[in-house]
A and B are shown apart, each in its own frame.
Chain A
Amino acid sequence: MDVAFPPGRHGWLCPVIWARDLTKSYATKTSGDVLAVDSIDLEVGPGESFGILGANGAGKSTTMRMIGATLQRTSGELTILGHDPQHEGPLIRAHLGVVPQQDTLDTDLTVRENIYVYGRYFGLSRAELQPRVDDLLDFAQLQDKRDAKVDSLSGGMKRRLTIARSLVNEPSLLLLDEPTTGLDPQARHLLWDRLFRLRETGVTLVLTTHYMDEAEQLCERLVVMDAGRIVAEGSPAHLIRTHAGREVVEVRFGAQRSNEVVPHLAGIGQRTEVLPDRILLYTEAGEADLHEIVARGLTPTTALVRRASLEDVFLRLTGRTLVDE
């Protein structure tokens, strides 16, 4: 380790990612300097699976690129596996597996060649790569597509290939930027299953997502980003408990009635959130509260009692829904 760390809150001797006041600003023609990432602190330990949750434009990808040593920070401190990306970019990148938001697969090459050539970029020998490429094709469940061109693959297959390719250098830190965006549910579950397996091997996972279920499934710990800042940090369960409560009653009264109904809901639940199309009541006992609403004669057109989720946390913290509906 090249850098001595001040003892962090999490107490890791050598954190995989360590950032203090990490900032990235861009000069733009129209609106001066824009802060994409605004002095954030991060600490990720070995073997953790860590999530960065936020809406589009929150600064997730910018943060990921700085961690991936392909974007220089404007100010603050950042070390990846003890190295400073400003000075040791190639060395850091040799440790990393990167799954970018947009596929960068080589469409002139076959599926197998994509993994093989990528391994060669790291300087790995042909002899070393041959068995490994085979293993990775198994892992990505693409063995029967090995000689196909990339363009013939489905979206889910391309993502799996990108992940397989990112593992060719046996990375200790895997960066996944929105790994399942644009995939159908079946393809997402298949991908999650692969990522679970990776977690078991001890690889540190850092992923960005704007899908709540994905964050809840894959991340032991996460930060919520909004407008370049970290607005909350913790395990999914902790965040939900702290910021949302136990259950949520979702009721719809139709656009006209919605505002009239709100005053009549007073006293039900701990907190009320009025959205354009529905009203959310945060509560400890959803069924009882729904009965109370009906008992007050406020018959909703639709009603749903559900467990509080990260979506609610996000809504609470930022005042916005995560996925534009």
Chain B
Amino acid sequence: MILQALTSTTAVAIAQRRAGLADAGIRSGRARMLLLRNTLALRTSNALAFLTGFVEPVLFLVAFGYGVGALIGDVSDGEQSVSYAAFIAPALLAASAMNGAIYDSTFNVYFKMHFQRVYQAMMSTSLGPLDVALGEIGWAMIRGASYAVGFLVVATLFGLTTTWWSLLLIPAAMLIAFAFAAIGMSLTSLMTSFQQLNWLQFWMLPLFLFSGTFYPITAYPDWLQVIVQATPLWQGIAMTRSLAFGVIDMALMGHVLYFMVIGALGLLATTRRLNALFLR
């Protein structure tokens, strides 16, 4: 029995190294293992859903940018005048980052949480709730980034990118995905049925249509503009649009800050909730 106390296997040695740290109870520093798991899982089940995220914004760009755009002509925000396709392209990129993140963090997370019991298995290892939250949200960010890269290539082929600032659309898409995934996962972790998830989904379409995606929000009365400006997709679209048009200003910093704050809040809420669900 003395022997038993002294022998430590590798798993124990790894856990022992972290045991004294302040966040040892909630984090092992191995969130990347969720990325490994999700990459392996991608091969079998979620590949098609992943692909849809690439195709959807391109279809919208063709149908609205070039179809409807031919009827509209150029759009002006008072200073610059751009083609309708160039106007909606950054908005579609922001929306696809949002959609990918929400899909991952709601339906996928709910399924893993309640049917596959993947998180229950993870929490019976030395992983902690913050690892799980970071891993899943990180996965949504990777998805957001890959959509952004794909869409950027298409937009460039259509001749819609005019400035090197456009490259920053990739981290911008990741930031949008981070915030939406963090909020989405924290809400999903509170839900007890698929019906409640459908309510979440219910809000996605109006958010997509009315956040200044297809027309400037100056079309709304002032009071409504203020409300729309507080919503996350408008913040995302304002950020991607200003990057796409090379408008680098304080407002841009404001959008970045907005996403960092709500993302951090979502991450905190998710971690607390996972802890309550699986470790209490």
Alpha-carbon gap, A121 to B1, bound state (A): 28
Query: In the assembled complex, how far is the CB of residue A203 from the closest CB belonging to chain B, in whole angstroms?
Result: 10
Interface residue A72 (Cβ < 8 Å from any Cβ of B): yes
Those of B1-60 within 8 Å (CB) of chain A:
1-2, 4-5, 7, 9-12, 14-16, 18-19, 24-25, 28, 30, 33, 36-37, 40-41, 44-46
B124's partner among A45, A68, A88, A103 (CB-CB below 8 A) is A68
How many positions in chain B have a CB within 8 Å of any CB in the partner chain? 41
Alpha-carbon gap, A59 to B153, bound state (A): 58
Contact B124 A70 (CB under 8 A): yes
Contact-residue size bin, chain A (C-beta under 8 Å from the other chain): 35 or more
A61-103 CB contact bits vs B (8 Å, 1 = yes)?
Answer: 0000000111110000000011000011111011110101011
Instruction: Determine the chain B residues whose CB is within 8 A of the CB of A71 once the complex forms.
Output: 279-280
**Which of B112-120, B219-227, B254-262, B264-272 makes up part of the contact surface?**
B112-120
Alpha-carbon gap, A223 to B117, bound state (A): 29
Given contacts A113-B40, A170-B9, contact A123 B124 (CB under 8 A): no
A169's partner among B5, B9, B36, B116 (CB-CB below 8 A) is B9
Instruction: Determine the chain B residues whose CB is within 8 A of the CB of A171 once the complex forms.
Output: 9
B128's partner among A82, A90, A106, A122 (CB-CB below 8 A) is A90
Those of B106-127 within 8 Å (CB) of chain A:
116-118, 120-127
Alpha-carbon gap, A106 to B118, bound state (A): 6
Closest to B3 in A: A46
Those of A161-177 within 8 Å (CB) of chain B:
169-172
Query: In the assembled complex, how far is the CB of residue B41 from the closest CB belonging to chain A, in whole angstroms?
Result: 3
Interface residue A139 (Cβ < 8 Å from any Cβ of B): no
Closest to B45 in A: A108
Contact B128 A104 (CB under 8 A): no
Contact A124 B11 (CB under 8 A): yes
Contact A98 B36 (CB under 8 A): no
Contact B40 A109 (CB under 8 A): yes
Interface residue A117 (Cβ < 8 Å from any Cβ of B): yes
Query: In the assembled complex, how far is the CB of residue A103 from the closest CB belonging to chain B, in whole angstroms?
Result: 8
Contact B12 A94 (CB under 8 A): yes
Interface residue A120 (Cβ < 8 Å from any Cβ of B): yes
Interface residue B278 (Cβ < 8 Å from any Cβ of A): yes
Q: A13-B1, A109-B44, A121-B33 are in contact. List 19 more A-B contacts (CB 8 A).
A: A45-B1, A46-B4, A69-B279, A71-B280, A90-B18, A90-B24, A93-B15, A93-B124, A94-B15, A94-B16, A106-B37, A108-B45, A118-B121, A118-B125, A120-B36, A122-B125, A124-B10, A169-B12, A172-B7
Instruction: Determine the chain A residues whose CB is within 8 A of the CB of B19 once the complex forms.
Output: 88, 90-91
Closest to B1 in A: A46
Interface residue A152 (Cβ < 8 Å from any Cβ of B): no
A121's partner among B18, B30, B40 (CB-CB below 8 A) is B30
Contact B121 A106 (CB under 8 A): yes
Most buried by A among B2, B30, B125, B128: B125
Interface residue A146 (Cβ < 8 Å from any Cβ of B): no
Query: In the assembled complex, how far is the CB of residue B21 from the closest CB belonging to chain A, in whole angstroms?
Result: 10
- Give the total number of A-B pairs whose CB atoms are below 8 A apart: 135
Instruction: Determine the chain A residues whose CB is within 8 A of the CB of B14 once the complex forms.
Output: 94, 122-124
Contact A1 B126 (CB under 8 A): no
Contact B11 A170 (CB under 8 A): yes
30 chain-A/chain-B pairs, Cβ below 8 angstroms: A46-B4, A71-B280, A87-B25, A90-B18, A90-B25, A91-B16, A91-B19, A91-B24, A93-B126, A94-B15, A94-B125, A95-B12, A96-B124, A98-B124, A103-B117, A104-B121, A104-B124, A107-B116, A108-B41, A108-B116, A118-B125, A120-B36, A121-B125, A122-B126, A123-B28, A124-B10, A169-B11, A169-B12, A170-B10, A172-B7
A89's partner among B5, B25, B122 (CB-CB below 8 A) is B25
Instruction: Determine the chain B residues whose CB is within 8 A of the CB of A172 once the complex forms.
Output: 4, 7, 9
B33's partner among A45, A47, A117 (CB-CB below 8 A) is A117
Contact A12 B126 (CB under 8 A): no
Alpha-carbon gap, A242 to B127, bound state (A): 45
Query: In the assembled complex, how far is the CB of residue B46 from the closest CB belonging to chain A, in whole angstroms?
Result: 8
Those of B91-149 within 8 Å (CB) of chain A:
116-118, 120-128
Alpha-carbon gap, A81 to B8, bound state (A): 12
Alpha-carbon gap, A315 to B197, bound state (A): 47
Instruction: Determine the chain B residues whose CB is within 8 A of the CB of A128 once the complex forms.
Output: 10
Query: In the assembled complex, how far is the CB of residue B35 from the closest CB belonging to chain A, in whole angstroms?
Result: 11
Alpha-carbon gap, A94 to B125, bound state (A): 6
Instruction: Determine the chain A residues whose CB is within 8 A of the CB of B116 once the complex forms.
Output: 104, 106-108
Nearest 7 interchain pairs by C-beta? A108-B41, A94-B15, A169-B11, A104-B121, A121-B125, A122-B11, A123-B14
Contact A13 B15 (CB under 8 A): no
Contact B279 A89 (CB under 8 A): yes
Given contacts A94-B126, A123-B28, contact A106 B41 (CB under 8 A): yes
